Amino acid sequence: SSELTQDPAVSVALGQTVRIVCQGDSLRTNYASWYQQRPGQAPVLVVYHENNRPPGIPDRFSGSRSGDTASLTITGPQAEDEADYYCFSRDISHDHHWVFGGGTKLTVL
């Protein structure tokens, strides 16, 4: 399948740990990148090549992969982490195509 599947919504208490998952066949052989999008803003890359952070991204964000599932973990989320999160990877059903997951809305309680 070319799809990347994400849970539509996840909630976490302030300071706890939350894992946002992305499932798809392409993740068995390709890495996901993860994007944070706050309301009204452009997406921001938070993790790439499975578990690398761009400069300026806090180390509470980390990535991992197991089988057909990639995960974005936020350890001790802050209020400002409330946002939509999207995974992104190759679409293995089409040569040279890419695909986003449907997005997960994270609520920090």
Chain residues in the site for another protein (CB under 8 A): 29-31, 33, 35, 37, 41-45, 48-50, 52, 54, 84, 86, 88-91, 94, 96-103
Q: Which of 51, 12, 13, 17 is nearest to 31 (CA)?
A: 51
Q: Write out the two tokens for 99.
A: 């695909």
Nearer Cβ to another protein (17/28): 28
**DSSP per-residue codes, 38-85:** -TTS--EEEEBTTTB--TT--TTEEEEEETTEEEEEEES--GGG-EEE
Q: Smallest distance from the beta carbon of 74 to another protein, in angstroms? A: 18
Based on CB atoms, which residue is closest to another protein, 49 or 59?
49
* Nearer Cβ to another protein (35/61): 35
Q: Which is nearer to another protein, 39 or 79 (CB)?
A: 39
- Measured CA to CA in angstroms, residue 107 lies from 10, 20, 58, 66, 102 at distances of 6, 12, 18, 25, 16
For the CB of residue 108, give the shortest distance to another protein in the complex, in Å: 20
Count of C-beta atoms within a 10 Å radius of residue 78: 12
